[in-house]
A and B are shown apart, each in its own frame.
Chain A
Amino acid sequence: MEGVQGFIYPNELELQWSVLIVLYPFITGLVAGAFILASLERVFNVRAVKPTYRLALLTALAFLIVAPLPLQLHLGHPERSFSMYLTPHTQSAMAMFGFVYLWYLTVVLLLEIWLDYRKEIVEFWKASTGPKRWLYAALALGVDNIDAASLRVDDRLGRAVTIIGIPSAFLLHGYVGFIFGSLKANPWWSTPLMPVVFLFSAIVSGIALVMLLYIVLTWLRRHRIDMVCVDTIAQYLLYALIIDFSLEMLDLIHRLYEADESLKALDFMVRTRLWTSQVIVQIISGTVVPIVLLGLLQLGPLITSTGRSVLARAIRGLWEFRLPIYVLAGTLTMIGIFAMRWNVVIGGQLFSKSFLGYTVYKMQFATREGLLPAVVLMVLPFVILWVLVRLLPPWDQEETEPATRPARAH
């Protein structure tokens, strides 16, 4: 029994949930987070983030399409999964996944994207020939009425869908947290904070992803990056990170102070097997460092160009190079949130429910639940996004011109 330390129940030798189940909350979190960012513009009228509105919606869709795949690959009998729709067990938290997923996919995302893009779809339909014409005609559902009155209806409906979409995005990821948080047998998971922590970490990861995608895609398209937009997104990323970090620390402090019978086992686990992924990657480099970097950058616009102190000069220097710092903070955040999912899912299985021993997770490579399918599943949403961006360009006409707006004064 290699890797086992102390006593574990015999049936605990095999870990039940693999890296694929780590991907499941990670991917659904990106969906919910990207959608929340999109809704900032639509519902809360944060105009500055408009260049990312459509990109965020398409990103959410690309990841949502992939979200059920790791679950399907993981199931012992994927061919039976449809019975969750036909004869769900209503007391089971997991049974609701299909319904929450379908609601979010069809009622929220597809509808909102369709309403938002309908004008362009019809224009592409009329302007193209051959199979492309058929494709856009199908996407338009055969409706080519894009007069001002009908576009006004689209806009009003789209706004209503976004308003429904915000609680739906909360539901989608809060629900994923509930699947873990409601299991009383596992003290690492069982906390009512779990859905809330999942939700805010989802918002963090979704905002970071869309920010990175916007920067990289704009750079690839050789257009000027709208720094007002990126500054604003980074600001929201900072706020979400602070809330997320506070919630996670609350959970940690609560556990330490309450010190129930599981604490010794969990404490030992964090100090040994989860030290790198939890303390180093998740908390320090994935949360504290981005908060410090983004927090310091918030001071940038406040420092006058005449300030001569070391701090003023340092912050001015940082502000000058804020784009690579945003990329660094966003990347560290994404890695940190992935580590958080890993620490929840895998960490929750490394200790015995007897609290008397520990096991290890041995990830395989080219097996059904190995590293290779996990990597493929993480690349797949980007491929889908590439197709979606080609099909439905998320760049507004004015956005395709080089940005002329000056960056925020400093």
Chain B
Amino acid sequence: MESGRRAFLEQGARLLVLSMPAALAWEHILAGTPEAADNYDTAAHWWGFAIDIEQCIGCGLCVRACKDENDVPLEPFTFRTWVERYVIDPDDPDHPMVESPNGGYDGFADIPSSDRKVKTFFVPKLCNHCSSSPCVQVCPVGATFDSPDGVVLVDKQRCLGCRYCVQACPYGTRYIDPRTHVVDKCTLCYHRITRGLTTACCEVCPTGARMLGDLKNPNDPIHEFLRSRKVHVLKPQMATHSKAYYAGLDGSVR
């Protein structure tokens, strides 16, 4: 009994000590200056994202988790992340059948059975957190900016709602929040990753198809992913230096 109480006190003291830096960092994160926090060094990270097409089963858990975590409106159709399903007839590869019903929020219906054999796969999409982002370039007031750790973020107190960045993004990842009239997009769950957590979508993905990666951390598994897999980015001709790396990406994906 005595030892149980002692253990509890010890555990509690440890938890208190461990959570204090997190609490300290949290204040800075809320203030929009995570780099000022003692235990999160923006210069020590460079965030990227890895997606394994062959692992994605189109369950839509990531879409739901993202909407819950980041308060993304359910209506109209606005998404920080969504999943597309490609169905390609090998005889007509130039005309893939693509759909993303409600962004894949509710998963996908079965493909109607047919005699024809088709190729099909899912493609999760999100902000590519490009290091030469057209959206950052065009923002007239600098409300959209690159964080020092490689995440494209929006200062919602500064955004004019001119929508130029929405036009400039080649990937369709931005939308106007109908409640605030400013632009919104994937933040790579910045409030989570600066506390040592992964993104909500990665957290819930049942197959590990989505992986947050710190490109500055030599021990991060993303390096093994980039080394061992044939990876591709979306629309490389746009030269945006996207940091969303896809393994198993079909050439038909736009």
| Contacts from A to B (Cβ < 8 Å) | 1, 6-14, 16-17, 71, 74-78, 80-81, 83-84, 87-89, 91-95, 97, 179, 183-186, 349, 352-356
**Known contacts A10-B78, A10-B82, A185-B134; A84 and B238 CB within 8 A of each other:** no
CB neighbours (8 Å) of A183 from chain B are: 134, 138, 167-168
Q: How many A-B residue pairs have CB under 8 A?
A: 124
A105 CA / B156 CA spacing, docked (Å): 31
Can you name 15 A-B residue pairings with CB atoms under 8 Å?
Answer: A6-B98, A7-B98, A14-B175, A16-B167, A77-B160, A81-B160, A83-B158, A89-B141, A92-B138, A94-B162, A95-B141, A185-B168, A353-B170, A353-B254, A356-B96
* Known pairs A76-B176, A89-B140 / 9 extra A-B pairs, C-beta < 8 Å: A7-B100, A8-B172, A71-B162, A88-B141, A91-B137, A95-B141, A184-B134, A185-B169, A356-B254
Whether A11 lies near B77 (C-beta < 8 A) is: yes
Task: Give, as a whole number of angstroms, the nearest-CB distance from B139 to chain A.
Answer: 6
CB neighbours (8 Å) of A9 from chain B are: 82, 100, 125, 171-172
Whether A92 lies near B175 (C-beta < 8 A) is: no
Whether A80 lies near B160 (C-beta < 8 A) is: yes
A44 CA / B166 CA spacing, docked (Å): 43
Closest residue of chain B to A11 (Cβ to Cβ) is B175
Task: Give, as a whole number of angstroms, the nearest-CB distance from B253 to chain A.
Answer: 9
Whether A354 lies near B254 (C-beta < 8 A) is: yes
A12 CA / B139 CA spacing, docked (Å): 19
Whether A87 lies near B160 (C-beta < 8 A) is: no
Whether B164 lies near A184 (C-beta < 8 A) is: no
**Known contacts A9-B171, A11-B77, A185-B238; A89 and B99 CB within 8 A of each other:** no
CB neighbours (8 Å) of A71 from chain B are: 162
CB neighbours (8 Å) of B254 from chain A are: 353-356
CB neighbours (8 Å) of B98 from chain A are: 6-7, 354, 356
**Known contacts A17-B163, A75-B160, A76-B161; A89 and B142 CB within 8 A of each other:** yes
**Known contacts A14-B175, A74-B162, A84-B140; A7 and B99 CB within 8 A of each other:** yes
A184 CA / B98 CA spacing, docked (Å): 24
Whether A83 lies near B141 (C-beta < 8 A) is: yes
CB neighbours (8 Å) of B59 from chain A are: none
Whether A75 lies near B162 (C-beta < 8 A) is: yes
CB neighbours (8 Å) of B170 from chain A are: 184-185, 353
B129 at the interface (CB under 8 A from A): no
Task: Give, as a whole number of angstroms, the nearest-CB distance from B226 to chain A.
Answer: 26
CB neighbours (8 Å) of A74 from chain B are: 162
Task: Give, as a whole number of angstroms, the nearest-CB distance from A182 to chain B.
Answer: 8
B174 at the interface (CB under 8 A from A): yes
B236 at the interface (CB under 8 A from A): no
Contact partner of B181 (CB less than 8 A), chosen from A10, A11, A77, A185, is A77
B79 at the interface (CB under 8 A from A): yes
